[in-house]
Each structure stands twice: as C-alpha cells, then as structure tokens.
Structure 1
Amino acid sequence: MGDRVVGDTADIRRRLDEVGYLVDEGTASALFLALSLGRPLLLEGEPGVGKTTAAKALARALDTPLIRLQCYEGLTVGEALYEWNHQRQLLAIRLAESRQDRLRDADLFTAEFLQERPILRAVRHDGPVPPVLLIDEIDRADDEFEALLFEFLGESAITIPELGTFTAKRPPIVVLTSNRSRDLHDALRRRCLYHWIDFPSPERTVEILRRSVPAANEPLIRSAAEFVGRVRGYDLDKAPGMAEAIDWVSALSALGATELVREDVVRTLSAVAKTPDDRETITGALDQLVGGARGATA
C-alpha cells in the first residue's frame, strides 16, 4: 500500500468491505483524505453509528496495529502519553546506594525508565506502516486533557521535559471519536479533519445484518431493519445503533423467528431498549411498529 496512501475512495471502500465493514461514500472519503493528507480525523455521531468500529476496521484493512486510548473524566498524562517507572527508579537508587555510587536526579529520567502509554507508543512505532491510533470518546475527557493533545495532533510529536521532543518517523493514523456529550475546543477541531456519521441507511442496515447474522432469513432481516429505523424516530434516551440491531436479530434468530411478530419482539426487547423509559415507549407503540415494519417489507 505504500507508506500510508490508498489508491482512492473506491480502494478504501473495497479494503474495508473485505474486512467486513460496510462504509458509505462520505465516511470513505473522510478516511481517504485523512490517509492522503496525513491529518487526524474527528468522527462524531450518535452512539452506535460505528465510529469506533471504523477505526478498528481501518487498522485491519491496512494490516497495521490498532492502538486504543479510551478517554474518561480525569484522564492524565501518565495514562495517555507517558509515565516514569517509579519502581525501577527506586530500585536504581537502592542499587546505587549499595554500591556507594553517586546517582544524580537526571540519571533517573532517561529512556530506560520511560513507560510508553498509547500516544507515545504510536509516536515511537517503528513498523513499515504507521499504526492507527484511536482516541475514543474524547468528549468524555476533561477540557484540560485536550490541550495536552495539541502538539501531538499538529506535529505528530510529544515533548518530554527531561528528554526532549519525540517526533514520529511516520505520523500515526489518528482517529478521534466523540458522542458530543460536550463541546470540544476549537483548537482541537482546527487540527483535525471532520466527519459526521449518520445511522446507516435502511439498505446498508440490511446488508450489515445479512453479514453479521447469516442465520437470519431475509424477511426477518428486512422487517427488523425497518423496525429499528422507525424506533429511532421516537424520543428515546438511547436510540438503538447497529450493535443493538445485530444483537436483536441474533436473539430473534436464536428463538427460531423467521418473521417479525409481537410476541417475539416483546421477548427480545431488552436487546433494543436500554432504559425502562425506552422500553415503555417502544412497548406502547409496539403494534404500530411491528405492523409498519412488516407492511413496509411485504
């Protein structure tokens, strides 16, 4: 594939399709541009639209390692960028004391005592193809953490005060995801390409379900896809994404269902409704949803 460039948008779609990830034209174009321009890509969208899966599939498609940083409130430099191995430093101090050697503080802050965390690991990766670095759910981290990323996102580099600046030989392929639980800093957005991922179209939903649940028959898949699409139009706490749709069709298929009927939907609704309020909302409209889904695919 070369250093990091794929042929074109069609090529990236083909590669992703080969690893089981069906992507629309917009997402394929965003991934292609991120690869071609060497820019980080910020993916936003509702939970369950496949943002994280896109990064995982990209790593498989390019046959390169996936390095994942899961963000959360309170995430620190020591967990995301690098950390000093305090245990080894302490052992070095004790060994120097036993030998009556003089150990300066500077001697304790060398590469020997450095522990790589995901971002530094991506910068120092020495493989023939740069890794995919997934910075997942960046909106869950604190505002202050975003500022720690500016140098890395803009220059593919990390500065460690005691050692200097590490710059990637081949800039890693960086994918950030956000569920928009809070606004991200403008400075972070400026350093990234941007793409919003929608829920897949009904046609693509059907194709994804075909591949993911091969035991399910066609009428069940089409009705389930229509049902899930209609459910997303309701005011829910958590609209069902593709993961929920796949789990639901898998559950229906495990029960031996070959078409969508009310009784089976009730028995498997826990795969779709993730809160008591959502279950109540869907149950209240169940006859209309089941009838509409079956009618639309008849």
Structure 2
Amino acid sequence: MRVIDRIMAARDQMTPSERQLVQALLDDYPVVGLGSITELAGIAKVSTTTVARMLQKAGFGGYPQFQAQVRLELKAMILDPAAKRDEWKSELPDEHILNRFGARAIENQRRSLEDIDPAEFDSLCSLLCDPDRRIFIAGGRITGALAQYLYLHLQMVRPDVRLLPEAASWTHDLLEVREGDVLVALDVRRYENTTLTIGQMCHERGAEIVLVTDQWRSPIHRFAKHTFGMRVAAPSAWDSMAAVLVLLECAIAETQERLWESVKSRTEELEQAFDRTRLFRKFGQNANR
C-alpha cells in the first residue's frame, strides 16, 4: 500500500488539523514528504506534534519511517526500463513467462478495479456522455497507443471527440478548448512533461481533467477532477498497461450503453461508409468482385 493510501485509510480517525496536514500532502505528494518534519508542518500550517500524531494513526513508527517509505516510492516512480528489470530479476519465480507475467497482469487488473470507487467511475462516464462537453484525449510515448484506442471508440459513440497529437501541433488544438470541456489524460511513470503541460493548459482554460495514471500518480492529479490510479508494475523492463486498458474498455462500454439510441444510428451510418469503401471483407457477399 502506498504511503498516501495508508494515511487516507486512517483519515476518519483524524482531527481537523490532521486532515489539513493530509491535504497538504495530497497537494504535492510525494515531494512534500522529502523535507524535514518542521518543513512539512510549516507547509501545512500545523505543529510538528500534529504531524507525529497523524503518522502514528496511519501506522508509522515515526517521521523517519514515513520519509523512508516516501523515498522508496519516489525511487519506484522514476525507474528507467533497465533499472526496472534489474529490480525484478532477483525476485522472479522459476516459471514460464506466460505464468509469471500473465499472473501479475491479471492481479494488477483485479486490484485496480477493486480500488476504483464506482461513483467516481459513474461520474467519468457522465462526463463522456454529456453532449455539451467536447472530449479531448492526450497520451504520451507509450500511453499514446491507448489514447488512440479510446479516441477511435469514443468517436464512434459520440461527436466532438478529439485526439491531441504528440507532435507540437497540439498547441493549435488547445485553442479550441473551452470551459466545461473534458481532457482525458493518460500519464504513467516516468511522467511526461508534455502531457503535464497539456493538462495544466486545459485546466487553465476551464476544462475538467480526468487522469488515468499508475499507483504512484502523475503530477497531473493535483488539478484533476477525477484520478484513476491503475497498477502497472510487472516483471519486465516495461510496465503492463493491461489494467489501464481494462478501465478504458469499461468506460467505453458504459458510455455506449448510456447513449445506445444515438450510437445505434451512428454505427449504422458508419457501417454504410465501411461497405462503400470495402474496408472489411464480407464473406459470401460479392465473392467475385
């Protein structure tokens, strides 16, 4: 369990000043936890006694233990592929990769879905279904493929969906963002500066930000309306995006169902276009053409 998750799990037991401290941690996690206890107390405008008491309620033996855990998390967030492989290699069980990697990917999916608040997911789908909101989608070097996947499906489901390109021309698209629009940003470790800038600029223009990230959370979470932290760590030099894909497919399926009447007519029109372009083979039809 992440440090911040341990703290949030104990939030109901906390006093108002301790909750104020928790909010300060959330606003700039994990960086805010790297300073001294005095510095953290100053940022949160509470006493060092409040910091110690809050950490005790969260199950930490003291500030040094808390800070050591924060540093371990930060190290995990910034691992490059070679370092990830080195970290996993000493722990790999002696079994076939299909079992070793597959089991972890499935476990990531299960635990990620269990962590999602159904009300939060429903709110996401409500945003995607709102005809008065335009949907912008942004991904990075790896997550760009998932952004494209989400875009292609949502484009079939509803109008006014736009994929922000990874090239510099995305700045032109941002001119179209207005208050009330939605940006779905996909950003996993090692969090990309371009995706962060897109999120910041869309937020400044009044868009509501939906962040799909990993368990350590991209910096975009500081101004995101909804954040979904999916588990991505896997026994490989690269993370597994399986849990992220499952979340996107759940959102696509629910959005399709909510908008089914319009989706049906939209799909029929699209199929007619496919037939005219002969994009797909129709077995048994026009076999000699």
What range is the shorter-chain TM-score in?
under 0.3
Structure 2 length as normaliser, TM-score?
A: 0.26
Structure 1 length as normaliser, TM-score?
A: 0.26
Higher RCO (Cα < 8 Å, 6 or more apart): 1
Structure with greater proportional helix content:
2
